[in-house]
Each structure stands twice: as C-alpha cells, then as structure tokens.
Amino acid sequence: MQQVFFSPHHFVQSSGPVWHGFVINIKIMVVAEIVVLVLALGIAILRGLPGPAAFPLRALAVVYTDVFRGIPLILVVFIVGLGLPGLQLRWISTQSVFVYGTIALILVYSAYVTEVYRAGIESVHASQVAAARSLGLTHWQTQRHVVLPQAVRRVIPPLLNDFIGLQKDTALVSLLGVVESAREAQDYAATYFNFTGYTVAAVYFVLLTIPLARFTDWLIRRDQQKTRAAAG
C-alpha cells in the first residue's frame, strides 16, 4: 500500500505533471463559478416573476432546475461532450473538450445554485417588499434595491459549499479527454505502474478545499453572531 499509493519518490516525481493538470481544474472552476453565479441568479429571478404573463418563464425555470438537478453530473458530461460536437456549431471548436466539460458543470450547478438563490429571495420578509412598492418602486426596482442585496448576503455560505463541490467535480471532465489532474495521475500510473499520482491529485484538491471550507465556517459564525447581537 505504501509503495503503490504513498511512495515518496513517486510523490515528488508526479507532483509536477499533476500540478500542471490541476491548473486546468482551477481554470475550469473559476470560469464555471463566474457563469453559474450570473446564470443561476437570472433563473431565480425569472422563477419569482409575478403575474400570469410570466407563467411560461416561471415554468421554463422550474423545468430547468428540476431536470438538471435530477440528472447525474457524469451523464450530463457525456451528453454535452458527445452531443455538442455532433451539432457542428461554428462558435465552438469540435476539439474544445475544455468548453464541453465546463458547460456540463455550468448546466448542473446552475440548477442547484438557482435554488440557493431562491431560498435567499424568499427569506426576505414580504413586509419589506410591500414597503418598497408603497414608496413607488417597480417590481424590478424592488428586487434590485431591496430583495437581492439581502438575499445574496444571506446565501453566501451555502453558495461556497456548492462551489466546493464544483471544485471537486471538475475532475469528471477528464472523461472527455481534458488533461487535468486526474488524467495526469492516470497517465503517470500507466507509465510507471504506480498510483501515487492519484494521492498527489487528492492532496491538491484538499489543499484547495480546506481554506474554502474554513472560510465558509467563518462566514456562518459571523452571521450567527450578528443575528444574536440583533436579537439582543
């Protein structure tokens, strides 16, 4: 076990190539997180639109979240990675597996983050919305200046938890041929018949995840302290 997974020699030797692949994981994570934050917020806003005229948009938002929360991410990776090239879209290179993997992550995690946003929006008391409307603010102005600032502030900790999961799931894009850390570890194992590269990849993921987890815990504690101070 020690020689196969925890060999000091192979740990040092594989750390360079695996780190090179891990940089790809970080790039995918950053791009996906930025798009997810914007897209999910837009879908959450659509889902909360009032009136019968907005029913088709609300229904579309519900269908999107239900479908992509219900399909396992690994299947979405295959569907996007194998399906989009067949469409021969000019604005996406047929060899851009990086793009396909990132799109798959965005589709799935946007559905989850939409529900996080929606929970934050619904946590804002209706009296605040009524007060804003009584002052003459439109629905959009109320959302922009009253609801969304409070909602986003409240959902930052669960958003960070989702992004910790996204950061780990970037390893699944290796199924499409993206040479990220897991694929580099696999290639190292095939070359040297030693699996320590997988341990190196795991260490890199843990080193990135732990600071995010501790930062999330700090935000939660700070929010609890503010809540207790306000109640007192």
The per-residue pLDDT for range 66-93, each reduced to its tens digit, is: 999 999 999 999 999 888 777 776 666 5
**Is it the case that residue 42 has pLDDT exceeding 70?**
yes
Tens digits of residue pLDDT in 189-214: 999 999 999 999 999 999 998 988 88
The position carrying tokens 């959902």 is 155
Structural domain count of the chain: 1
- 33: its two tokens: 């997180």
Residue-wise pLDDT for 9-27, tens only, equals 999 999 999 999 999 999 9
Q: How far is CA 169 from CA 46, 72, 90, 105, 186, in A?
A: 27, 11, 28, 8, 16
Q: What is the CA radius of gyration of the chain?
A: 22
Contact 114, 65 (CB under 8 A): yes
Which CATH number belongs to the domain containing residue 32 in this structure?
Answer: 1.10.3720.10
Question: What mean pLDDT is predicted for residues 140-151?
Answer: 88
Which residues constitute the domain of residue 145?
Answer: 2-231
| 6 in Cβ contact with 196 (< 8 Å) | yes
pTM to 2 decimals?
A: 0.87
- Which residues, 6+ apart, have CB-to-CB distance to 172 below 8 Å? 73, 74, 77, 101, 104
